[in-house]
Amino acid sequence: MQIGVSSYTYVQSPLDIFEVIQEAKKTGFDVIEFAGFPNLPEGETALSFAPKVRAACEDWR
């Protein structure tokens, strides 16, 4: 069994999405579910940003 967390848990946190990934890992979660990408960097869309998030998650393993 894997224990996960939703990115929504961190919605009021000052952390960016990549820091959220690291925090979830440090906290001991096995997986993270993304509830959208709030505060996308300038010029990014969810579709263009998703591969970067995936790469960060792959580094998590």
How confident is the model at residue 38, as a pLDDT? 80
Output the pTM of the full model.
Answer: 0.83
Question: What's the confidence (pLDDT) of residue 61?
Answer: 61
**Rounded CA separation 1/40 (Å):** 32
CA–CA distance from 48 to each of 14, 29, 42, 51 (Å)?
22, 26, 11, 7
* Spatial separation of the C-alpha atoms in residues 49 and 18, rounded to whole Å: 11
Q: Tell me the C-alpha distance between 43 and 39, whole Å.
A: 11
Which helix (DSSP H) or strand (DSSP E) does residue 17 occupy? helix 17-27
Condensed to tens digits (0 to 9), the pLDDT of residues 10-47 reads: 989 999 999 999 999 999 999 999 988 888 889 999 99
